[in-house]
A and B are shown apart, each in its own frame.
Chain A
């Protein structure tokens, strides 16, 4: 043991920290190490398996857009982002490990953005990439639909994760609230109320995919401009809200 006291010098980070590499790496490992990782690893396997099956048996020429556009972009991708996005920060708040990141001088906003970045990378790997591969299996790599699906899926990976990371800070029931958002807001209301579509991440991704694929089966309702601008706005706003709320992160004592 040493009685000597060493004064530690601090280095100044070249990029004053929106992305903290330590938080990023720990989040990747923690998220992949949780039991629920099986779910987001299994889902793309299923997607690819069904695509192969459809490729062999489906008769209708519009099945790739119907299956990968509707099921892939509007069901598989949001669910993958939901599991990953709520796991990246929410699960650590639940089990208390996040305290080891918060009990440091790292800004709370950069904890949020680094966790968001890790969630996006994982969703790209387990959501967007399989969607692209499925498109390639159905129509070939260079097909407009395949490219459209990829771009739509990338945009969805970014915007959905911002929303779900924000929900993780706002509520301890992020998965339930996220599911309600997907099923009721995007799934149900989005079909009847035009205004809802402007605030639906799913519509941003399908609309951008449609801008490239130009396929009516994609069920897109927004212009490319609206979809892109709104996706950026929603992402930035969600991260800002999450950063603000994490700055007021409170731990309750044992008295209650």
Chain B
């Protein structure tokens, strides 16, 4: 047994480096959000990472509540939140709102976006929107086995170059690619890997100025709010809900966070 196994050097395989925690997460070092389009396998990834048995199903809309769990990697505790599937951050149904609010105001340290390798283009719409609001993203290119079965070849390195964030091919049902995913979550959370996320072009200078002006106005009134720029963009579109939230003053981080907590508590009913 002198032959060296390359896996022995990998942190993911060092005994004790990775440990699942189920739902026992009282204190944690990093907060990880698990987002993505419906039915891309978020809950399966979640189960793999936490050792929990969150219900999974082969249809969009299976998860309508937030599930939380955790794991330890390299002595750091990660709390991970499985969000309901969403096609867009501009959506309106309650389950999608839960996902959107958490990504925007929950201040996750890393947002893992699970995308369906057989429907890359449509899934990228959400990835691009999330890249607008946060730097720290890991893309989990899931269902890579299904893509292969359908004769699709996906160049994950090209994808990573274009998006400016790590892209990890996985087949969560077969637990493949999870080591790499954990490693990248750790790297991005700890700042070892610095993302250079793609930002949208095509926006005119005049609009950019308008967004800047509004952003500053918002930050004056709500100095602690994350994603003021995103809010400014919604205001510029005339999004009525954001206007109402500004008017009632409920846009403050803590308030929003509380309502989400409240929501998840209220909706904390497990699927049975």
State whether these chains interact: no
